[in-house]
Structure 1
């Protein structure tokens, strides 16, 4: 009976993932996961669907935004190879890590200064500094943030990442970057992996290859940033009666195990391709569910603060990433 109650929401999320995939096929510049979030946001604003979204569809959407997202994050680790990251060189690795940490800390401080509530400063920081909406979902699961707290950060990181697809290529030549330098800048400064690919491919295959490896280096930072953040949150917790989150959540440990496995064991191509398809499908379902929880009307009173924080964080990581390229 419990499974049957979850089926309507899961089926909706699956259908939405399929629609997002078709939209990506029709317009390749639109990343699949970005399309999934955007579709969820649109669905969440339709008054006729609100009753169903908070009623019969809610159990399945909740499973999609939590359990399926965690499985997708674990499978994301199979995209990472420590060997590929090591080939960047220590200067690029150190500067990329520095960009992530500075953007993360700076965005949290800015969010608190602007009065963002609850876990929102941490979630915005995760999305802009690490890997977009996927990082928001992972961090939200780790610190046990409510879906409502994740709504604004998901919307912001989707908006800014989509704008970056048009803005960064326009700045490529005025900033005097080579194709390789542009790829590095995109990988270090754009949020979602799909958005990185859509932006960097304009400069050619070399730029795209560099951008993807730099971006995946940032994705690897997801595990330590989650662990450190959860440790800090545990120390700050004042309610001794409520269970505190594990310092290294199980799905983060699984993500790290997948990275190590892919780095040390020559996995067959069919397995990697299948895992990539499954990971993309699960994350598309999860991000659609998160997008569907967004209500613009309810966010109007405080949304401007989050918008300022998000845009400032976007500018911060773009500047820091450009500095990292010059140092490299």
Structure 2
């Protein structure tokens, strides 16, 4: 007789398809049963997810410690460590918790990113940097979709990689992946995007300050260039403050503007995915993903001054832990063999997107304003 602790691959994946409702996608029939929950159901749910959730959190803790010791990207450590424990996702008690970490924990972490941003921070930059960021983001995603089609990588991968490069690196990749149509390659593509964008962001953190100096940019324009081009928030901060405090402040605000674009971009993708899936159903309507509602609500509360500094700091810390835990879980869902099989094309695409957004921004800051 099987117990609540017994699980297998098919059961775990069916169980967590109920989270499609959080993504603004069509709800799986299994989710109706999952919604009828009582105390015993919640106890059974906890017993199913805690082994995988505990493993994911442990890997996140180890990755964070190593990142602090060696001053390296924590996301990359979490991914690589997670991938070494891929066998835990093939069978056994950890599958359900790994699925939970890579979906629900991920979305909760993305929602908390909204606590970093206020409307005032964005508006004080002026119109020109905002226009540069919007143009760079839109054209990078468009370039990704078009080039991915030409390379036969699929437009979903182009949107995923373009959004990761154009918005905020690994966090954007995770958020966008959660609303894109699912395929057998979805998890592999997400991991590949996170790994590549993290490596490119680290290289940009080292080389872009030198490029800004070579271009003769002043502190403000250098901050705009760094904030509008480097992928991850941490690397933007590192690169900006390596030049001057003023450059670091400007770079951070510009980067937060890009992070703000996560909301409309992910919602737009979810809307079109919904419309494509439900287009033949009478009266079908797209639903707003719940984690994006949370993101927007936190931005609004922070802009209105209702979030105390203690709450903002706590939200940032929890968000970081959630995202690192989700990255570790995604790593466990992907093998080195799968990544090696993708070839050079995805990496070349993301390199092209990185060069494009850097070129667009460099032209804007040197010639336009």
| Same fold, TM-score > 0.5, yes or no | yes
After the TM superposition, which parts of structure 1 deviate over 6 Å for at least 4 consecutive aligned residues?
none
Contact 1:143–1:245 under 8 Å retained in 2: no
Displacement of 1:24 in angstroms is: 3.2
Contact 2:86–2:334 under 8 Å retained in 1: no
Displacement of 1:120 in angstroms is: 1.5
Contact 2:179–2:273 under 8 Å retained in 1: no
Q: 1:51 maps to which residue?
A: 87
Contact 2:86–2:335 under 8 Å retained in 1: no
Of 54-63 and 228-237, more deviation after overlay is shown by: 228-237
Contact 2:147–2:349 under 8 Å retained in 1: yes
Counterparts in 2 of 1:159 and 1:84: CA distance versus 1, 3 Å: same
Q: 1:40 maps to which residue?
A: 79
SS at match of 1:142: coil
SS at match of 2:152: coil
The CA distance in 1 between the partners of 2:112 and 2:82, in whole Å, is 27
Of 161-170 and 89-98, more deviation after overlay is shown by: 161-170
Counterparts in 2 of 1:54 and 1:182: CA distance versus 1, 3 Å: farther
Counterparts in 2 of 1:292 and 1:198: CA distance versus 1, 3 Å: farther
Counterpart among 295, 302, 326 of residue 286 in structure 1: 326
Q: 1:277 maps to which residue?
A: 317
The CA distance in 2 between the partners of 1:102 and 1:133, in whole Å, is 19
Counterpart among 284, 289, 306 of residue 346 in structure 2: 306
Q: 1:233 maps to which residue?
A: 273
The CA distance in 2 between the partners of 1:211 and 1:138, in whole Å, is 23
Displacement of 1:291 in angstroms is: 3.0
Q: 2:110 maps to which residue?
A: 73
The CA distance in 2 between the partners of 1:166 and 1:234, in whole Å, is 40
Q: Note if 1:110 corresponds to 2:147.
A: yes
Contact 1:144–1:245 under 8 Å retained in 2: no
Length, aligned pairs only: 319
Q: 1:61 maps to which residue?
A: 98
The CA distance in 2 between the partners of 1:52 and 1:118, in whole Å, is 31
Counterpart among 49, 55, 59 of residue 6 in structure 1: 49
Contact 2:164–2:173 under 8 Å retained in 1: yes
Contact 1:154–1:291 under 8 Å retained in 2: no
Contact 2:226–2:240 under 8 Å retained in 1: yes
Displacement of 1:142 in angstroms is: 1.8
Counterpart among 57, 60, 63 of residue 17 in structure 1: 60
With structure 1 as the length reference, what TM-score do the two structures score?
0.90
Counterparts in 2 of 1:50 and 1:251: CA distance versus 1, 3 Å: closer
Deviations 1:187-244 (A, max 9, x none): 1001111121122221121111111110110111111112222333344448858xx8
Displacement of 1:178 in angstroms is: 1.9
SS at match of 1:267: coil
SS at match of 2:307: coil
Of 286-295 and 84-93, more deviation after overlay is shown by: 286-295
Q: Note if 1:316 corresponds to 2:352.
A: no
The CA distance in 1 between the partners of 2:87 and 2:133, in whole Å, is 44
With structure 2 as the length reference, what TM-score do the two structures score?
0.80
Structure index of larger Rg: 2
Displacement of 1:63 in angstroms is: 1.2
Gapped regions of structure 2 (runs ≥ 5): 1-43
The CA distance in 2 between the partners of 1:224 and 1:75, in whole Å, is 16
The CA distance in 2 between the partners of 1:153 and 1:109, in whole Å, is 17
Q: 2:207 maps to which residue?
A: 167
Displacement of 1:7 in angstroms is: 1.4
Contact 1:110–1:309 under 8 Å retained in 2: yes
Give the root-mean-square deviation of aligned CA atoms: 2.1
The CA distance in 1 between the partners of 2:74 and 2:242, in whole Å, is 20
Displacement of 1:66 in angstroms is: 1.0
Of 297-306 and 261-270, more deviation after overlay is shown by: 297-306
Contact 1:223–1:252 under 8 Å retained in 2: yes
